């Protein structure tokens, strides 16, 4: 299982990477990873007109798209479209940040799992 990873390097430049979830247990119900401590959960509805210029993440958090998609562009120029059912970890709490935009004018529901 892949998680998109948005982070800032030591110069404040933002980049995309990938994290591969390590399965540590397996049983009749399937595979699971180790537990990741979290501090809260936020539900969000984002309009199809969403177009948020350069900004940093307010905190380290996982974002889980429930439906719809978001296009995120980082300062090194790479863009990714994160679709329904995909997860990304945002850790660019400093630096140049990223741009976020709705895709195809569609409303998006998502869940933020805060880590701080």
- Annotate 10-79 with DSSP letters as a single string: TTS-EEEEEEEPPP-EEETTEEE-------EEEEEEE-TT-EEEEE--SS-EEEEESSS-EEEEETTS-E
What predicted TM-score, i.e. pTM, was given to this entire model? 0.94
What 8-state DSSP symbol labels residue 107? -
Helix (H, G, I), strand (E, B) or coil at 108: strand
Structure confidence by residue, pLDDT tens digits, 3-56: 999 999 999 999 999 999 999 999 999 999 999 999 999 999 999 999 999 999
Q: Two tokens at 104?
A: 């195809």
CATH number of the domain enclosing 103: 2.60.120.10
Domain of 27? 2-114
């Amino acid at each position: 299982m892949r998680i998109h990873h948005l982070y800032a390097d030591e110069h404040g430049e933002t980049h995309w990477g990938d994290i591969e979830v390590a399965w540590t247990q397996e049983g009749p119900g399937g595979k699971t990873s180790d537990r990741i401590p979290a501090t809260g959960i936020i539900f969000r509805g984002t309009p199809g007109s969403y177009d948020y210029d350069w900004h940093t993440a307010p905190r380290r958090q996982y974002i889980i798209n429930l439906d719809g998609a978001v296009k995120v562009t980082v300062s090194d120029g790479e863009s990714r479209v994160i679709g329904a059912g995909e997860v990304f970890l945002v850790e660019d709490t400093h630096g140049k940040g990223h741009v976020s935009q709705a895709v195809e004018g569609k409303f998006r529901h998502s869940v933020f799992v805060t880590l701080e």
